Structure 1
């Protein structure tokens, strides 16, 4: 079994127990939604920061699989294969 690696930006790390990398075990391709469910199960605050009440990715959260933003692919249904990385970036607002 090969893990899928989820990389978190520093702003989200406190919501994941201070971790910068979370892993989701996988032996077959899974969806981005499945990976998020797996890694945020123990971190409800992180889950709420990434997705809204309907389960959709919040608009200020960008998720990349192999450098491709999932909104340009199949969104949460985008497949992630074992060994791949999922990068989460939270937009920072300010002026």
Structure 2
């Protein structure tokens, strides 16, 4: 199973500048995809998840067009060829 992960500009230092990365997760969930991403690009997972393994509140993750927080969170199941987008939250006034 191959998953494409879109990487925001601020995290591309971990992917050698790549805007998209292909990963082959060990399982069909977002969590497994993030672990596979970390295996190939050390340091990126700590920017997406906190010390307890939960998604950081200032990071949004989408599977195709669905926010994982509106699905099963990091346990959201992926189909082969799914697109996972890491999107930093934007705040301001």
TM category (shorter chain) comes to: 0.7 to 0.9
Please show how residues 1-95 of structure 1 align to structure 2 within 5 Å: 2-25=1-24, 30-94=28-92
Q: What's the Cα RMSD here?
A: 1.8
Greater strand proportion: 1
**For the residues of structure 1 that align with 2:55 and 2:2, how far apart are their CA atoms?**
22
1:6, 1:86 within 8 Å by CA — same for their partners in 2? yes
How many residues of Structure 1 are paired with residues of Structure 2 in the alignment? 93
Structure 1 SS opposite 2:34: helix
Structure 1 outlier segments of 4+, above 6 Å:
none
Q: CA offsets, 1:15-51, max 9 Å, x none?
A: 222111111226x960000000001113332111000
- TM-score normalised by structure 1 residue count: 0.86
- Structure 2: runs of 5+ lacking an equivalent: none
2:7, 2:19 within 8 Å by CA — same for their partners in 1? yes
- Structure 1: runs of 5+ lacking an equivalent: none
